[in-house]
Structures are given as structure tokens and as C-alpha cells.
Amino acid sequence: MPTKQMLVALLTLFVCPHLLFAAGTVSGKVTYTGTPARQKPIDMSKEPSCAKQHATPVTTETVVAGPNNALDNVVVYVSSGAPDDGQVPAQAVTYDQKGCQYIPHVQAMHVNQELKILNDDQTSHNIHPLAKVNREWNKSQPPGTPPLSEKFDKPEFIPVKCNVHPWMHGYFAVLTTNHYDVSKDGGDFKLPNLPPGKYTITAWHESYGTQTADVTITGNETKDVKFTFTAKPY
Amino acid sequence: MMTIRKTCLCILLIAMATGIALAQGSGISSGYPTPRNGFSVSEQRGHGLYLRYCVYCHGVYGDGNGDNAPFIDPKPRDFTIATFKCRSTPTGTLPLDSDLIHTLVRGVETSNMPSWRPLSDENRDDLIAYIKTFSERWKTEKPGEPIKIPPETPVDIASIRRGHDLFEKVECWKCHGQQGHGDGPSASTLTDSKDQPIRPYNFASAGNDGRFKCGVTNEDLYRIFMTGLDGTPMPSFADVIQPNDAWDLVHYLRTLQVNRRSKEREVLKAAGGPTTLKTPENKSENNSPANSTTLVRSGGR
């Protein structure tokens, strides 16, 4: 059987080598139409060690909009057709608590990938992922203690909060693919290294829900995909 | 004529016997309404008991939306998500059956969940068997490994002092308040996992029995902060407090139960009372980082 597969691979290499080594890219921009909800200023006066880290008042991040109606913090990922489902990256992703904010606000990761949670603040936080499909847990992390090492074994978009500092809200996006990006710097995203094939690309936003687009990659090419969400004023 | 009568009698007897057998199989014989198919005998009995005792708060579907739920604070437990406050197992894991049975026997302090001590052991086992049918988690996951609790360390003023130090450093006071009255700066903003407001435990509210939400003994108190109360803002401290040091925190927390006569309070009183604990370095409203060797430190594991 392996011999037959090798023969097919060799034949393909000779007949159409671009199919073996080709890797396309899906890139684009996430935008919105309408009027997004106005983000509320956060009063951190009860936590002076955090308040002093911000020169200007911090606002909530349920909608992070940029110039030209750009929308950041949208998880864009290959929801079907990705060839590497099940391959868990060895490298951990990190989720930092700094200035009583979650950095990044949305952290995407593969199912069962190590997630390191840091506390860079001079105050205690409690990490409380409100999982429904995975297990909900809640752990204290005082300043100076080691990073927490966690993982989630099922795909889910999990809200995260700190009960001590009620303004701290974020998300873990646990996916079954390594082809993902979170829109930033004006709504831009990029999904490189996609072999030829048909893909469904999904974009998820914590306030505006999901959108999908079908894309076919045929070789070394970059396909442009745009997602436009309808903003809700409240 | 006699033959026809005998035949009719036989048919009647067979019909009665079949009816009784069916009723027994469906749970009617137990006096409880007919349960769903596919239940074990214990689950069937538990279903009947649930409809009699639990359904008004926890609801027909076990989702905590019973008829009484709108009038109850905190809200009844939602069994469909299989998240339980009082456990001997780590945060994020399923409890042991014995944990659930203890909750039934004890009730949950500062909530509407009463003690079900009058029920028989068999009744309680059946109820636990039934509430586990509300979530698939019980079929796909095993309960967690219970946390290990070392033997209690001696109650002395040094231990109470160290416990007070830990209370400041892990910032229990942010929710529970400096005196443990449940009035810390974050107290008014706390919500449970269903976004319902929830109050932190007020240590001073305990009577002489010194009851906590999940128990009454020092070991129960140890378990509460090392496992956390899942579904609530109370986190687990198992990753940051060393097992032996946790006893120091237990001893200090007991001194906050001002209406309870205890060895911890006697020791503190003999040493000069609560003011002796307030050394300048541990009046930590200053938010200084923890620097005690009693916390699990970065790089120290």
C-alpha cells in the first residue's frame, strides 16, 4: 500500500508539480456597516496599581472598530477543508493579564494546545473561563505566581472573566484547525499555507456572530475574502 | 357454561398479572409517576423522589428553572451543566457521589437548599442517580481525584498570623472584606456563572455551629478554598497555596467567625486579639506583590 501511494505521489510530481508544492493564501479584511455600540470607559480607581498603567482611560472591548469601518478581534478560521485537523502545535499560546486587561482580548488556539496564563499585575486575578462544552473552572492567580498551564479538549468560543475585576472580559477561541487568524490593525487577516482544495472560511465576532465564505485554492495564489458584519448600536 | 367461565377467569387473571408486571417495571408500583424509559431501577426511584421533593426549585428538566426559582436567591443548581459548588475534587472536575450525598444531607448554608437528612440512605442514592441523568457529562467523564488533605497543623498564634498574612496576600479581602463580613471592594459586583448577583460569604454571620456553604469542619473549610466553588466567583487556590500552609488560612478564617466559640479565637484572644495581627507590612491595602515563601512562587515549582 505505501508503495502504491509513493507511486501516485511521484506521478503527480512529474505531471503537475505545482499541486504538490503549491500553497495558497486567503487574506482580506473584516468590516462592519451601521453604528457599533459605543464602548464604555472603565473605572479602575478601585485598583490603583492597574489604573496608573493607563495614561488614558481604557474602554470596554466588545467591539474594537478602526478607520474605514474596520473590525478587529474577529476570529477568522478554516472551518472545513483544512488538511491538518488534529495536529496539536507543540508551542503554547499565552494569555496575559496586564493593567487589569486581557492581552490579547481574544486568544485563538487549537484543541488540546497548551495555554499559558500569566499575571503581570501587582494584584490577584481569578481566571474564570465560563465554558459550556468544555469544563468550567476558576483559579486564583496572585501576583508573582507561576503561569497557569491549561488546555481545552473540545472546540468552543469560551467567555473568560475575572470576578475580582468585573470589567475584565475576554474570549478563548478553541478550534480544530491551525489555519486561523484574529483580525487586527484595521481588520486585516491572513490564512497562509493552504494546499489546493475547497475551504469554508468562518469569521466569528463576540458581539456580531458568525459569517462564512467558500473559497477554492488551485495553486500559488492569494484569494481575497471580505467579511462585513452588521453592527448593532446596543 | 363452566368451561366458558373458567376461560374468562383465566384471561382476567393473565390480564391482571400482565398489568401488575408492567406497572412494576414502569415504576407505578413505587407510588411515583411513570418515569421515562431507559432508566435503571435506582434512577426510576430517584425520578419519583425528584418529582416529589426537588422539582419545584430545580425544575422538570433539571435546569434550575422550577416554579419557585424566580423567588429564590441564589438560584437553584442547574443539573444540565453538571457544575457543582461543594466538591472534594479539583475545580473543573465532576464531584464524587459522596460529595453530592453530603450536600443533600447537609443542605447548602446561605441558600434555599435545605438539609434532606430525613431521607433514607437509599433515597439519597436514588436521587443522586437520577440527577446524573440530566447531563451527558456523567457518561463521558469520570469524577476528579479528591484533593489530598494533610493532617491538621497545631492551632497556635504563629499559624493564625501566617494565615492572616495569606488572607492579605491572596487578597481574600477583595471580596470577603478585611473583617470577613462579605463587604470587600469587589463584593457588590460579583455574579455567578449565569450572571446572577451573588454575595460573598460573611464569616461573622455564622452562629456557634460555624457553618460554611459546604460544611462545618476545619477540613470542609480547607476543601472550600482549595477546590473553589464551581459556578461561583470563588476560585480554587490549590495552585498557589502549599497544602500545609492552607491550614494556617483555615485557622485565621475561623477567628473571623466572631459568634463561634473556637480554639482559634481563644488562642488569638490570649495573644492580644486581632490587633496583634495588624503589623505594618501586612496591612496590604497597598496592593504590594506577595513576597512570602508560603505562596507558590514563579520558578519555584
Query: Residue B255: which residues within 8 A CB-CB, separation 6 or more?
Result: B160, B262, B264, B265, B268, B274
The region of weakest confidence among A58-67, B4-13, B203-212, B252-261 is B4-13
Nearest-Cα distance to chain B for A15, in Å, is: 48
Tell how far CA A192 is from the center of its chain: 15
* % of chain B residues with pLDDT over 70: 80
pLDDT tens-digit map of A26-81 = 999 999 999 998 899 999 998 999 999 999 989 999 999 999 999 999 999 999 98
Distance CA B187, CA B177 (A): 8
- pLDDT confidence of residue B210: 79
Distance CA B114, CA B107 (A): 5
Pairwise CB contact (< 8 Å): B81 & A138: no
Residues A167-171, mean pLDDT to the nearest whole number: 97
Task: Provide the whole-model pTM.
Answer: 0.84
Distance CA B108, CA A229 (A): 46
Distance in Å from the first CA to the final CA of chain A: 59
* Number of domains forming the structure of chain A: 2
Arithmetic mean of pLDDT over chain B: 85
Best B93, B170, B249 member to test A by mutation, with max A CBs in 10 Å, is: B170
Name the pairing type of β-strands A188-194 and A24-33: antiparallel
Residues B72-76, mean pLDDT to the nearest whole number: 90
Classify domain B32-140 by CATH number: 1.10.760.10
Q: Given A47, A127, A164, which is nearest B175 (Cβ)?
A: A164
Asked if the domains at B32-140 and B157-286 fall in one CATH topology, the answer is: yes
Q: Are residues A161 and A226 in the same domain?
A: no
**Domain's final residue, options A160, A176, A192:** A176
- The answer to the question of residue A17 being in a domain is no
- pLDDT confidence of residue B26: 43
Name the pairing type of β-strands A24-33 and A148-150: unpaired
| CA-to-CA separations, A144 to B137, B169, B301, in angstroms, rounded | 35, 11, 13
**Domain's final residue, options A126, A151, A176:** A176
Q: Are residues A160 and A123 in the same domain?
A: yes
Q: Are residues A168 and A197 in the same domain?
A: no
pLDDT at B169 > cutoff 70: yes
- The answer to the question of residue A6 being in a domain is no
Closest CA to B44 of B64, B29, B66, B61: B29
Peptide bond into A104 cis (omega under 30): yes
Instruction: pLDDT band for A233, please (50, 70, 90 cuts).
Output: confident
Instruction: Establish, for the pair of chains A and B, how many residue pairs have beta carbons separated by less than 8 Å.
Output: 105
Q: Are residues A76 and A190 in the same domain?
A: yes
Q: Residue written as cell 473543573?
A: B92
Q: Are residues A51 and A97 in the same domain?
A: no
Q: Are residues A91 and A172 in the same domain?
A: yes
Q: Are residues A182 and A232 in the same domain?
A: yes
Pairwise CB contact (< 8 Å): B236 & A127: no
- pLDDT confidence of residue B8: 55
Name the pairing type of β-strands A106-110 and A115-119: unpaired
Q: Given B91, B234, B290, which is nearest A142 (Cβ)?
A: B290
Pairwise CB contact (< 8 Å): B186 & A128: no
pLDDT at A20 > cutoff 80: no
- The answer to the question of residue A7 being in a domain is no
**Domain's final residue, options A176, A197, A213:** A176
Residues B231-241, mean pLDDT to the nearest whole number: 96
Q: Given A48, A128, A166, which is nearest B287 (Cβ)?
A: A48
Range of the domain at A140: 86-176
ipTM rounded to 2 decimals: 0.83
Distance CA B13, CA B18 (A): 9
pLDDT at A178 > cutoff 80: yes
Q: HEC profile for chain B?
A: CHHHHHHHHHHHHHHHHHHHHHHHHHCHHHCCCCCCCCCCHHHHHHHHHHHHHCHHHHCCCCCCCCCCHHHCCCCCCCHHHCCCCCCCCCCCCECCHHHHHHHHHHCCCCCCCCCCCCCCHHHHHHHHHHHHHHCCHHHHCCECCCCCCCCCCCCCHHHHHHHHHHHHHCCCHHHHCCCCCCCCCCHHHCECCCCCECCCCCHHHCCCCCCECCECCHHHHHHHHHHCCCCCCCCECCCCECCCHHHHHHHHHHHCCCCCCCHHHHHHHHCCCHHHHCCHHHCHHHCCCCCCCCECCCCCC
pLDDT tens-digit map of A125-155 = 999 999 999 999 999 999 999 999 999 999 9
Instruction: pLDDT band for A173, please (50, 70, 90 cuts).
Output: very high
Q: Given B193, B235, B288, which is nearest A139 (Cβ)?
A: B235
- The answer to the question of residue A123 being in a domain is yes
Closest-CA residue in chain A for B226? A139
Closest CA to B246 of B158, B173, B153: B153
- pLDDT confidence of residue A3: 56
CATH number at residue A53: 2.60.40.1120
- The answer to the question of residue A171 being in a domain is yes
Instruction: pLDDT band for B3, please (50, 70, 90 cuts).
Output: low
- The answer to the question of residue A137 being in a domain is yes
* % of chain A residues with pLDDT over 90: 82
pLDDT at B237 > cutoff 80: yes
Distance in Å from the first CA to the final CA of chain B: 93
Closest-CA residue in chain A for B89? A137
Q: Is A128 on the interface with B (CB under 8 A)?
A: yes
Residues B247-256, mean pLDDT to the nearest whole number: 97
Q: Evaluate the CA torsion angle B212, B215, B219, B222 in order and state its sign.
A: negative
Pairwise CB contact (< 8 Å): A145 & B295: yes
Q: HEC profile for chain A?
A: CHHHHHHHHHHHHHHCHHHHHCCEEEEEEEEEECCCCCCCECCCCCCHHHHCCCCCCCECCCCCEEHHHEECCCEEEEEECCCCCCCCCCCCEEEEEECCEEECCEEEEECCCCEEEEECCCCCEEEEECCCCCCCCCEEECCCCCCEEECCCCCEEEEEECCCCCCCEEEEEEECCCCEEECECCCEEEEEEECCEEEEEEEEECCCEEEEEEEEECCCCEEEEEEEEECCCC
Q: Which CATH number fits domain B157-286: 1.10.1060, 3.30.360, 1.10.760, 1.10.1200?
A: 1.10.760
Residues B145-149, mean pLDDT to the nearest whole number: 97
Name the pairing type of β-strands A222-230 and A24-33: parallel
Task: Name every residue in B having a CB less than 8 A away from some CB of A.
Answer: 81, 83, 91-93, 141, 169-171, 174-175, 185-186, 189-191, 193, 228, 230-240, 287-291, 295-301
Which residues in A lie closer than 8 A to residue B239 (C-beta atoms)? 139-141, 145-146, 148
- The answer to the question of residue A142 being in a domain is yes
Distance CA A178, CA A86 (A): 9
Q: Given A126, A132, A147, which is nearest B235 (Cβ)?
A: A126
Contact at 8 Å (CB) between B85 and B108? yes
Which residues in B lie closer than 8 A to residue A143 (C-beta atoms)? 289-290
Residue ranges of the domains in chain B?
32-140, 157-286
CATH number at residue A153: 2.60.40.420
Q: Is A205 on the interface with B (CB under 8 A)?
A: no
Closest CA to B25 of B14, B12, B39, B13: B39
Q: Are residues A76 and A117 in the same domain?
A: no
Q: Are residues A186 and A74 in the same domain?
A: yes
